Chains A and B, each alone.
Chain A
Amino acid sequence: MLRSRTFLIVVPTLLVMALLPLGVGGYILGLLTLAYYYAVFAMSWDLLFGFAGEVNFGPSFLIGVGAYTAALLNHYWLWPIPPCLVAGAFAAVVAGAVLAVPALRLTGPYFGLVTLVAVLLLQNVLVLFAGITGGEIGLDLPDVLSIDDNTNYYYALAFMTVSGAILFGLSQSPVGLILQASGQDAIEAAALGFNVAKHKLAAFCISAFFSGLAGAMLIFYLGTASVGTVVDIAVGVNVIIAAVLGGRRTIIGAAVGSIFLIGAGEILRPLGQLSTFVVSAIALVVILFFPGGFMGRLLQAGGRE
């Protein structure tokens, strides 16, 4: 029931998105391209938080590792884009596994702090070795995905759709249910015979894979890798806000939240410095009054849960 309902909403929306390049200009397409990559960040984060119950304060650690691995390979060894993307995603999975080790031992604020520290350390390392990594200014890439707005847009849309479908499918599968159970009550889940550690580790690796791949795609879209766009705490904060705003534990909501966040930031641009203030205020109001987020509201109306 839920599935058919969700499909009824998602499929037409995707169709409209696919037809957008016929109607709107390159500027808006560029904005949406960015929003789609953010959507993948937020969806991967939601898999960890909404399902595995792990509050990862440093999504930009996974994103940054993927992005910079790809950037360094492309800049210094002139690897073509596809192997760079694969290497970036692989490096992010390794980073995700490293992050999963404390997650299996620590809970709540302690794990949150470790993820926060991971981002700060990565940022410090990148800035300290500015000679190699380009530091705050960034690392320019010899290759870009495409210079055509429409092509870039379709790459991003296709990437988001495929990742979204995989993550959503996973979350609705038995594996997703086990994850949810281990997130809410690890002891009981273990008592029922599920291997909590194995499932959580898998969730970390999958989340890291998509974060890292999206990070690598994003820098090849932008043509440059810099701390401010893929590693900074602010990037992670935006990802978290987008996921909570769109509705946690829905995967699709995370994508909606990201598109909303980037769109609202743009619409409010005439307000200048105040735009961040207003976006945060809107997000705060949503969290206070509609804790389920955009999608939570929509899905609850369908009568599930």
Chain B
Amino acid sequence: MLALQILIDGFAISSLYALGATGFTLIFGVSGVLNLSHGAIMVVAAVIAWWVAGTFGAGPYLGALAGVAASLACAFVTYSVIVRPIQNSPSIPREEKEIFVLTGTLLWGIMLQEAVAYLFTNNPKTVRPLAQGVVMILGVRTPLNEILTAVLSWTAIGLLYLLVNRTRTGKSLLAASMNPRGLTLLGFELSNIYILVWAIYGVLAGIAGVLLGAFLGVSSDNAGTLTASAFSIVVLGGLGSVSGSLMAAYVVGYLETMTAYLVSPSIRTVPVLLLLVAVVYVRPQGLLGRR
């Protein structure tokens, strides 16, 4: 019974982690950027969805749409105002671009977080779920919303898979992650590809944010934790490897759920941190990473 409960709860939360981390790892794989404003962007999506759906009274569907749109807008600003100027700046030495992108996106994330806290307070907010009610799965009471979360997460990931592997644009993304210079020589405009990646990232982070808001509730104070968990999942799975991230998301999700149910909710994240340290020492490239 308890095992089944853990299996179901863990699956839903892991799917959500997987979706959140996919966008993060995609950006890294294609353009080599670690976006530390990730958590804040997810928070923005959730809070806008909550505001439009609830206070504004537009209903959960329009709310979700508005949340994703807000996240998309944030992603564009992140790229065009912070990441691109740093990458193109002649006065920053190449080996230091990375730390500048990290610091820049970190500051941007703090700005977003503070803006949300200022405009909407930092109280936890729960987005009105798209589906209400509960169903019994083999005797375990499962909210319909939990199932929907898992289904939507996997739908989004599936669509991304199709986009990357089956379409011409998607293949150019793949090519950009392997050899950007080669792609430029073939006549592709690299900056268009980066814009596309950030657009995909914005949509994925938005969906993840809205679903998270409906599933667990979100407060602006969570931004840092969300970034840290996406970062850990991505490193655990191997930077830039999408399938590695998906696997890592399930490892992390189940480990956390099991700790919370079997030991104590207060040490929920500790085993994951220990696992992470162990993996990074023994296999620095992550579970499925390539060097």
Contacts and interface: CB of A to CB of B under 8 A. Distances in A.
Nearest to B103: A244
B269 A124 contact: yes
A184 interface: yes
Contact of A113 (B104, B110, B232): B232
B114 A273 contact: yes
B220 to A, nearest CB: 10
B82 A292 contact: no
Interface in A105-135: 105-106, 108-110, 112-114, 116-117, 120-121, 124, 127-128
Nearest to A118: B277
A120 B103 contact: no
Interface string B121-141: 000000000000000000000
Tell me what chain B mostly uses at the interface: helix, strand, loop, or mixed: helix
Given A114-B277, A233-B224, A288-B85, A280 B103 contact: no
A81 to B, nearest CB: 33
A276 B98 CA distance: 24
A231 B219 CA distance: 22
Interface string B43-86: 00000000000000000000000000000000000000010011
Contacts of B34: 109
B228 A106 contact: no
A288 B111 contact: no
A114 B108 CA distance: 23
B266 interface: yes
Contacts of A233: 224, 228
Given A128-B267, A291-B91, A284 B280 contact: no
A66 B6 CA distance: 40
B137 to A, nearest CB: 33
B134 to A, nearest CB: 33
Contacts of B151: none
B118 A117 contact: no
A109 to B, nearest CB: 6
Contacts of B118: 273-274, 277
Contacts of B98: 55, 108
Contacts of A117: 232, 273, 276-277, 280
A97 to B, nearest CB: 15
A49 B273 contact: no
B77 to A, nearest CB: 12
21 contacts: A105-B284, A109-B34, A113-B235, A114-B277, A117-B232, A117-B273, A120-B269, A127-B266, A240-B106, A241-B106, A273-B117, A273-B118, A274-B118, A280-B114, A283-B107, A284-B82, A284-B108, A287-B100, A288-B86, A288-B104, A291-B92
Interface of A: 49, 53, 55, 102, 105-106, 108-110, 112-114, 116-117, 120-121, 124, 127-128, 184, 233-234, 237, 240-241, 244, 248, 273-274, 276-277, 280-281, 283-284, 287-288, 291-292
Given A280-B114, A284-B82, 15 more contacts: A105-B284, A110-B284, A112-B102, A113-B235, A124-B273, A184-B95, A237-B110, A240-B103, A244-B103, A248-B96, A273-B114, A277-B110, A277-B115, A287-B103, A288-B104
